């Protein structure tokens, strides 16, 4: 282990396909999508398929022993569930060193809009729900997660739309390499809200069926919700504790082509630069990447341009490519970290998550996505992409120990 190497020693996840890593692994191996008609969100667009977490707020409150009268937003509940699983894997509570500088970095964009939009009349007419007003701020979610567990010396929120949680992971590695923290819990969470659904519906990029990433007839995204968090530790800490990491963060890169507020550049410049930079940061060549977890939203623009960027970087030796969005829905700010956990599961269990609902290739692509059932194979390095509005593109290389 090199001194500046950073390893993953805990991971937690909740999404439409299950609570926890084991449930997630089983759904992926079974090819079971969690995208279904709206169940919990109160919206006029009830016919839209979404990737909802299959628990109500009250059920999650009960799991976490949070009192009914305490003001809490759904994103915080999702985040607490995922952070809890990650911390339990990192170390039992009684064995954790309280002198360590532990940081929490969390990505989110919608914040507490899910509750605030339901309580507008209460805010205007009474003071009964005023505890929720401050929770609209994105940072309030990070603070609720940090307060639930305690022990964090630093808590910070990263907001770059759909690359938020990937950027949280990258920033966490930077903190460790610069000796500004001893342990970092990094990831993100996001819940569905009417604000969320109405906004994407106005952009006319929601698929009325289950999305079809990288398919010629793709029609848009399915929104989803969830949370994913990693516990990151430097090499010396891992060696001192004698623990077996889940994997290594080998390289990463963020690039912004700033082409358009909501669209990537026609040639996928941001995606190309992010992938190229991440592979170079890992000290690898493109042909050493065994699998690409694509951003693959199912929109005409993203899938075309991401594919063109992959073709430009990998040439004739394109590794298996798949998008997970038809499993979980597009979990927006949580997508990067949620899919980071899945990438680590793939590495640990030597399997390739597949691309659901693919039928016909995109005419301008020289490859087709991986469809199942995929055979198991030995994996070394995976590349995971997360692209946000405004051209904010991020890519991370995860490697097997």
pLDDT tens-digit map of 146-205: 999 999 999 999 999 889 999 999 999 999 999 999 999 999 999 999 888 888 888 888
Q: Is 100 exposed, middle or buried (0-12, 13-18, 19+ CB in 10 A)?
A: middle
Cross-strand pairs, 156: 105
- 248 pLDDT above the threshold of 90: yes
Determine the angle formed by the axes of helices 57-64 and 74-90, rounding to 10 degrees: 40
Q: 376 and 350 in contact (C-beta within 8 Å)?
A: yes
Instruction: Output the six-digit token pair for 273.
Output: 């630069």
Q: Each residue of 285-302: pLDDT tens digit?
A: 999 999 999 999 999 988
Instruction: Give the whole-angstrom CA distance, residue 37 versus residue 45.
Output: 10
Q: 398 and 248 in contact (C-beta within 8 Å)?
A: yes
| Dihedrals phi, psi of 142, to nearest 5 degrees | -60, -40
- pLDDT score at 19: 98
3-state SS, residue 33: coil
- 1 pLDDT above the threshold of 70: no
Q: 45 and 35 in contact (C-beta within 8 Å)?
A: no
Cα separation of the two ends of the chain: 10
Instruction: Output the six-digit token pair for 284.
Output: 């690898």
- pLDDT score at 237: 94
Count of other CB atoms within 10 angstroms of residue 37: 10
Task: Name which residue leads in pLDDT, 109 or 137.
Answer: 109
- pLDDT score at 390: 67
Q: Which residue has the tokens 């009192």?
A: 67
97 pLDDT band, cuts 50/70/90, is confident
3-state SS, residue 168: helix
Instruction: Give the whole-angstrom CA distance, residue 33 versus residue 30.
Output: 9
Strands 226-234 and 183-190 turn out to be antiparallel
Determine the angle formed by the axes of helices 335-349 and 164-177, rounding to 10 degrees: 70
User: Span 255-281, mean pLDDT?
Assistant: 83
Count of other CB atoms within 10 angstroms of residue 142: 27
- 274 pLDDT above the threshold of 70: yes
For the chain, how big is the Rg over CA atoms in Å?
20
- pLDDT score at 135: 78
313 pLDDT band, cuts 50/70/90, is very high
Q: Name which of 266, 218, 214 is nearest 371 in CA terms.
A: 214
Query: What's the half-sphere exposure (Cβ side, CA atoms, 13 Å) at 52?
Result: 20
* Residue 357 Rama label (left phi>0; alpha psi -120 to 50; beta): left
Q: 221 and 366 in contact (C-beta within 8 Å)?
A: no
Query: What's the half-sphere exposure (Cβ side, CA atoms, 13 Å) at 41?
Result: 29
pTM to 2 decimals? Answer: 0.95
Q: 354 and 371 in contact (C-beta within 8 Å)?
A: yes
The angle subtended at Cα 77 by Cα 36 and Cα 166, nearest 5°, is 80
Most distant pair of Cα atoms in the chain: their distance? 64
Determine which of 178-187, 364-373, 381-390 has the lowest per-residue pLDDT on average. 381-390
- pLDDT score at 57: 94
The angle subtended at Cα 270 by Cα 315 and Cα 204, nearest 5°, is 110
Identify how many contiguous H helices and E strands the chain contains and give both numbers: 13, 13
Instruction: Output the six-digit token pair for 176.
Output: 């460790």
User: Span 261-286, mean pLDDT?
Assistant: 87
User: Span 206-216, mean pLDDT?
Assistant: 94
């Amino acid at each position: 282990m090199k001194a500046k190497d950073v390893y993953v020693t805990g991971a937690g996840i909740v999404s439409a396909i299950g609570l926890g890593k084991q449930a997630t692994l089983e759904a992926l191996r079974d090819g079971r999508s969690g995208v279904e008609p709206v169940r919990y969100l109160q919206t006029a667009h009830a016919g839209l398929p979404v990737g909802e977490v299959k628990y109500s707020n009250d059920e999650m409150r009960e799991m976490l022993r949070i009192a009914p009268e305490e003001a809490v937003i759904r994103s915080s509940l999702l985040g607490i569930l995922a952070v809890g699983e990650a911390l339990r894997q990192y170390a039992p509570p009684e064995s954790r060193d309280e002198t360590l500088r532990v940081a929490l970095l969390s990505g989110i964009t919608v914040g507490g809009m899910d509750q605030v939009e339901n309580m507008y009349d209460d805010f205007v007419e009474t003071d009964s729900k005023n505890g929720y007003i401050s929770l609209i701020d994105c940072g309030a979610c990070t603070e609720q997660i940090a307060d639930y567990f305690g022990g964090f010396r630093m808590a910070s929120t990263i907001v770059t739309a759909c690359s938020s949680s990937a950027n949280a992971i990258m920033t966490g590695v930077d903190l460790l390499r610069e000796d500004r923290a001893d342990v970092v819990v990094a990831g993100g969470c996001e819940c569905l809200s009417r604000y969320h659904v109405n906004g994407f519906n106005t952009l006319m990029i929601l698929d009325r069926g289950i999305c079809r990433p990288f398919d010629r007839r793709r029609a848009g995204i399915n929104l989803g919700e969830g949370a994913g968090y990693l516990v990151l530790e430097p090499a010396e800490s891992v060696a001192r504790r004698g623990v077996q990491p889940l994997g290594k963060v080998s390289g990463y890169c963020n690039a912004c082509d700033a082409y358009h507020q909501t669209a990537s550049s026609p040639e996928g410049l941001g995606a190309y630069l992010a992938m190229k930079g991440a592979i170079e940061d890992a000290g690898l060549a493109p042909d050493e990447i065994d699998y690409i977890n694509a951003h693959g939203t199912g929109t005409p623009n993203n899938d075309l341009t991401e594919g063109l960027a992959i073709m430009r970087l990998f040439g004739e030796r394109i590794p298996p490519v798949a998008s997970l969005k038809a499993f979980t829905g597009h979990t927006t700010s949580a997508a990067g970290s949620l899919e980071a956990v899945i990438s680590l599961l793939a590495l640990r269990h030597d399997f390739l998550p597949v691309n659901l609902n693919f039928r016909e290739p995109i005419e301008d692509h020289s490859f087709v996505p991986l469809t199942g059932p995929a055979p198991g194979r030995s994996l070394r390095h995976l590349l995971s992409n997360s692209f946000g509005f405004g051209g904010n593109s991020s890519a991370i290389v995860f490697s097997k120990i």
